[in-house]
Structure 1
Amino acid sequence: MKIQRKYLPLLLGIGVAAGIFIGGKLNFSDTSDRLFSSNSKKDKLNRLIDYIDYEYVDEVNTDSIVDVTVNGILENLDPHSVYIPKEDMQRVSENMKGDFVGIGISFYTYKDTITVIRAIEGSPSDKAGIKGGDRIITADGDSIFGKDLSNTDVVNKLKGPIDSKVELGVIRKGESKVLKFTVKRDHIPIRSVDAAYMLTETLGYIKINRFAESTYKEFSQELKKLKKQGVRDLALDLRGNPGGFLSVAEQIVDEFLEDDKLILFTKNKRGKIEKSYATKKGDFEDAKVYVLIDENSASASEIVAGALQDNDQGTIVGRRSYGKGLVQREMELGDGSAVRLTVSRYYTPTGRSIQRSYENGNKDYYDDYFERLNRGEFLDPEKIQVADSLKFTTPKGKVVYGGGGIIPDVFVPLDMSMQNETLTFLKRRGFISNFVFEELEKDRDAYNDYSRENFISSFVVSDDLVLAFQDYLNFKTKANITFVAYNDEVKQYIKATLASQLYGNGAFDEVLNQSDIMIEEVIKLDQETN
């Protein structure tokens, strides 16, 4: 029984009312007074579920009632306390841990067959010889193709215990027989560092997409590589980063702050304050750091930006961040499900909370994004609403504000050339990725003469390729799409997707960054101060 979230509070109220009615009418030993006495708070919902389970006139899935009840309770607390059902726990845990056990491929279903886009570099599939374009048709003799097979079914066939083996049957273009590969499953990283490379001879760039358990290790490894390439200053891209583990954000901030500098402090309902300070291990403290943020940078991203801004270390570039200053702790519920419950608020070193108000309910809270957009805040910093009562001052006298995100030191407007409904539709539906894959399938060898560096710097998407994509879309969607108004933007996304499928990690962002106005602003700022 699936119930829409918007009806959960109403259904919860109806359920409780029904429990009161049932308790009064049926011949139970406990009266309604006993049910609602101050000593039975923890029993109330259990008893209500039991009443429905044993006495309700129709068969009801009480598990779904429990889910509805839990969700309804959490929705009335704050927007970030959430319930994680049992069936979602593995996926959520893998995403935050930063790896899973599998064979290490990125794929999509092409003509009802699992088709490899890329074997992840260094993964079991890569070591076994799996290549882009391979069609996997069997796993341990079982067929894994056909219309009735979902991606979840396929993933379950390919995943398994660490060090276990799976024999894959593969069809490869140019080969007359089905190829057999024995692949030994291993830990496969879910990368949180999307890209790391040099923007200029001295300015490095690292993009983090979330703060998982593995993020600091990834970040440290990439920073060491950049140091060998001569990095002196760093652009840390946290745009679109929704957050993650607070402790991981603290570790990254520690790289840039001097010893004993306050990173943040948290306060719980009892007023207990816990402070976090920078340690001696930071080894990038003398460099200039530019933190890139936007309206979708939240939570741990804001901890990083706020800590550096309040300590007068680095420059925050971009647009006002999301505004999430609540800390959650994951707590198991005993049946494989869990709840992430808000347990404290965090404050930046100057003492400001950047949590935006949720007193008018969750809908109003999430609609704040559209209010910001409609009043022009993404294009004009003068449209950012601040409250003088939430004004704070850094040690060097810079004025900063609390109450709704981190306001950047250097504002960069939203690039409207990259924001239109058609491009957004094409990206979300995967049309660009699918088209590029089919183009590569025609002749992968045509790109053999390109190194990654040469492709990114010199490859040009032809007008003919754009027209082919246009024809592909019109055939797939039965629409009449043309790219006259944003031909250059479409070329850039096609090139970035080609780079991603050919060369893997970081190539997509490296191509898009070539005309990113925020990246251009950071390079300009760095050159002006050197």
Structure 2
Amino acid sequence: MQKNKTFFILSLGVMLGVFISIGGSVLAELNKPAAESESEALPFEELRTFTEIFGRIKRDYVEPVSDKKLLEDAVRGMLSGLDPHSAYLVPEEYQELKEGTTGQFGGLGIEVTMENGFIKVVSPIDDTPAQRAGLKTGDLIIRLDDKPVKGMSLVEAVKTMRGEPGSKIDLTVVREGEEAPLKFTLTRDVIKVKSVKSKLLEKGYGYVRISSFQSGTGESLLESLAQLKKENAGAMKGLVLDLRNNPGGVLNAAVEVSDAFLKSGLIVYTKGRIENSEMRFTAAGDDLLNGAPMVVLINAGSASASEIVAGALQDQKRAIIMGEKSFGKGSVQTILPTSSGAAVKLTTARYYTPSGRSIQAEGIEPDIALASVKLASLEKPEFVPVKEADLSHHLENGKKKGEKTETPKTPDEKAKAEESLEINDYPIFEALSLLKGLAIMKH
């Protein structure tokens, strides 16, 4: 009994020492008055409860538990209780996070968050197993293989979804509008994200798709715009910037993308409690499109950095925002490495658009709302016209048996053969039509 009592007192002393150190650090960061006593700043009663529970687990739990695991779990609990985006990252998870911002990592290619204890799909990333399998924004993942997601932390769920390329995982998903859960089998792959893709929709009208914001996205955008301008004798009539299902990423990349289309003015600013969370970003360069009309496409999967770009271009009257209301992730996460090689991902500020709108839990409202629909060709009519070749005893054309005659394609057949994304994708089709109207009004 005396041994247990001694252990508890020692534990209490060690833990109080740790928390007094932490409390002192927090006080310094928040610039509390020096006169404020530690007894007022530190919750001694709660810390006493913590150390008591720590001691009981060490003594009474059915299996031995290491101090390291208990303390790591306590830190995870502290952070996960704050918001869905704050987390404790062990060294391996910290390394994976760094790899994700550079554009290459292993896994399924899916951006997720926590909602009511389940994993919610923010967006599948282009050209990845998740997108190819048909996962959609808003899907709730309730099982990973045979493991229920309920009770898992976001970090644990992400770690489970990652694995060796070529290995398979089953995702059980609840989707709005579906009566029963859906099951998807995905094959893990090395995810190499090319964040910027571009092409011409028509002569003078360009299309740029940004699937995520990585450290090299700004530079890739400049290269894409230069190529589009080169293909149009140095001038552009209009541009569609596609940010649909873009889960966000690096803040500086979002600033660089916005800056490419703005001559001056505020892009985004952040506000938090600590001094270095107050940041303002303004446009410094020239508009690379020289004022040519722009349409930005967003949807419910457009989050974080993509909302910064859409909000800046909307507030600065530089682009028309078209599509659906965006996701609404307007918080800033700061990565704070620890001496052990781990890191803390902590929410430290909120984003605000140039006009002072908070993106958090609100999102960006499009200027022109579009329903989530897709253009489709009319089905083949039941009545098929009768041709000469269908008539009994029709006259042959004189060519030898087996010989084929190449028939020139009609204009309609050529158009059908060249049919591509801008026709099959309704929002792009509408954006292109709007750009043409704006170009006519401008000239």
Residue correspondence of structure 1 range 261-276 to structure 2 within 5 A: 261-270=265-274, 273-276=278-281
| CA distance in 1 between partners of 2:52 and 2:223 (Å) | 54
Contact 1:95 1:190 (C-alpha < 8 Å) held by counterparts: no
Task: Identify the residue that residue 253 of structure 1 maps to in structure 2.
Answer: 258
| CA distance in 1 between partners of 2:18 and 2:304 (Å) | 37
2:323 is equivalent to residue 313 of structure 1 = no
Task: Identify the residue that residue 294 of structure 1 maps to in structure 2.
Answer: 299
SS in 2 for 1:529: helix
| CA distance in 1 between partners of 2:217 and 2:60 (Å) | 50
> Equivalent of 2:231, from 221, 229, 232?
229
The Cα shift of 1:223 comes to 1.2
Contact 1:49 1:62 (C-alpha < 8 Å) held by counterparts: no
SS in 1 for 2:70: helix
- Higher Rg: 2
SS in 2 for 1:248: helix
Q: Which runs of 5+ in 2 are unaligned?
A: 24-46, 107-126, 128-161, 168-190, 377-413
The Cα shift of 1:352 comes to 1.1
Contact 1:257 1:285 (C-alpha < 8 Å) held by counterparts: no
2:437 is equivalent to residue 528 of structure 1 = yes
The 3 A distance-change label for structure 1 pair 35 and 97 is closer
The Cα shift of 1:343 comes to 1.2
| CA distance in 1 between partners of 2:253 and 2:105 (Å) | 19
2:194 is equivalent to residue 191 of structure 1 = yes
The 3 A distance-change label for structure 1 pair 191 and 39 is closer
Contact 1:34 1:40 (C-alpha < 8 Å) held by counterparts: no
Q: Deviations over 1:48-76 (max 9, x none)?
A: 79857965663225554344323321222
Task: Identify the residue that residue 389 of structure 1 maps to in structure 2.
Answer: none
Identity %: 34
The 3 A distance-change label for structure 1 pair 512 and 92 is farther
Q: Deviations over 1:221-251 (max 9, x none)?
A: 1111111111331111000111111111111
2:410 is equivalent to residue 406 of structure 1 = no
Q: Deviations over 1:445-483 (max 9, x none)?
A: xxxxxxxxxxx97669xxxxxxxxxxxxxxxxxxxxxxx
Per the normalisation by structure 2, the TM-score is: 0.58
Contact 1:53 1:62 (C-alpha < 8 Å) held by counterparts: no
Contact 1:24 1:32 (C-alpha < 8 Å) held by counterparts: no
| CA distance in 1 between partners of 2:94 and 2:13 (Å) | 38
SS in 1 for 2:202: coil
Q: Which amino acid aligns with 1:406?
A: I
> Equivalent of 2:427, from 506, 518, 524?
518
Contact 1:96 1:212 (C-alpha < 8 Å) held by counterparts: yes
Task: Report the aligned-residue RMSD.
Answer: 4.0
SS in 1 for 2:321: strand
| CA distance in 2 between partners of 1:29 and 1:72 (Å) | 24
| CA distance in 1 between partners of 2:57 and 2:217 (Å) | 45
Contact 2:375 2:425 (C-alpha < 8 Å) held by counterparts: no
SS in 1 for 2:263: coil
2:197 is equivalent to residue 202 of structure 1 = no
Q: Which amino acid aligns with 2:424?
A: S
| CA distance in 1 between partners of 2:97 and 2:278 (Å) | 29
| CA distance in 2 between partners of 1:78 and 1:212 (Å) | 24
| CA distance in 1 between partners of 2:316 and 2:229 (Å) | 24
Q: Which amino acid aligns with 1:198?
A: L
| CA distance in 1 between partners of 2:274 and 2:296 (Å) | 34
| CA distance in 2 between partners of 1:413 and 1:405 (Å) | 17
Bigger RCO (CA 8 Å, 6+ sep): 2
The Cα shift of 1:322 comes to 0.8
Which 10-residue stretch deviates more, 307-316 or 70-79?
70-79
> Equivalent of 2:249, from 244, 260, 274?
244
Contact 1:321 1:407 (C-alpha < 8 Å) held by counterparts: yes
SS in 2 for 1:280: coil
More helix by share: 1
Q: Which amino acid aligns with 2:364?
A: I
| CA distance in 1 between partners of 2:318 and 2:105 (Å) | 36
Q: Which amino acid aligns with 2:202?
A: T
SS in 2 for 1:226: helix
